[in-house]
A and B are shown apart, each in its own frame.
Chain A
């Protein structure tokens, strides 16, 4: 691949940024709402240097920690219940109605409840993220268990394995590639929900830093945060995609795209 090909993805965003620079400098100079990209870059540099509560490192750590803890909680619960519902048709039929009734509740509707129960801080954010990631992981795990080769389960039966041994030695290893697809979806949901909780209520993290920048009429800082949230989200999504592909290569290809 020559350098023109490598440069190609950058042309369109560069043109957009150039347009924004011109528009912000000449059409609305000194605006409280928009800032030219050059000023945004400078504001981002200042925020990187800053120490204390509003530093980039601290806010990013808070958001990512909450997202990761929430995902771990939601994924663990979703995985456990998903395996049970996937292995037993009867259990799946029994839980069907309750799941269909509870699942459509939008995760953000729980923000006020989490606020009431936990107050502000890690716990409320983690709980909302866990609720949001629980459902997709439950559904995808259930589907993944269903797609485990029936012959493998027959082998387990023939060997007289206990249900626990069957789950840990046959089912779990067989569904690892599909599980990573589910986890990738969970990661992106966790990040989006964590930032949303911070923007709507929780006074910490990247989302809150962005809200504060807007409220104190610093459009350059606000846009810098928006850009940084985008970069973090893109980086994490790319990393999980690589991980999922590596796992799929090692453990056997799965012939499907993740369908949310």
Chain B
């Protein structure tokens, strides 16, 4: 990467987390952050056009949103990696973009895998060699706080928004919160934005009844968190009058992950080893929901996601053992939501009838 003091940095769209990256880039690295537009059908179409046919869908959306970031004026792209195919996303996306003729600097964190975590820090420092360690550290911590806030706001939102008495109040508060995060310049902006939002949430009148339906959503890391990729799955469920619970988010999986060692003993009757990067957590969460009497589970993944396909036999066993209905959803680059809506409604009807029989 060339030495440059002024950069316009962008990051592919991932759920609501881009505000966190923006905060770190602006406050920690003192560089400009370019926020590409929210993902639309166009994003996916771009990705589908240039990505290999059989790669998992997140690669296609990420590639599409990288193109949109470059179109929006970014000159530097950051890409992270993961333990599945995600680990190779960075390099393949770069060579596709270069073949298309785009010119940009690229920080692919996968290139810095050496076994030592501090080498990733070295990589980040390349974005602004003059950035001080203290400023970066502070902005990093603030950013992580913002991430936790976003996750807990989302948790509260999807567990309650289906029961509001006046339609749209929760949405409005969530929008205001994301707007506040987008404007945040320091820790107190983050904190006050969060407090305001939670206060607002708690003041909205809701009518849950005695036994609201509770559904646990789990599955592939990216698709389950990103509402564009799962075509508003959680919102659709909530709108039918369901408490939607989801454990999988970046704070839980990456920041406060109890670790394979601590989660595994709770599912040792189902598997002997860690089956994949998010498998232990997903199996554990499925069992947890089942034990706590949830009314159903929804397993989400993109087509061809190997680790998630591999845990399906385990989930089927949990479903049979605890008699909990599971809806398996596979997302491909489809752009219509009618088929999905039908399946969600049918699932809802089924768990609702079941609940009436039980109570």
Question: Does chain A bind chain B?
Answer: no
Question: Measuring CB to CB, which residues of chain B are less than 8 angstroms from any residue of chain A?
Answer: none
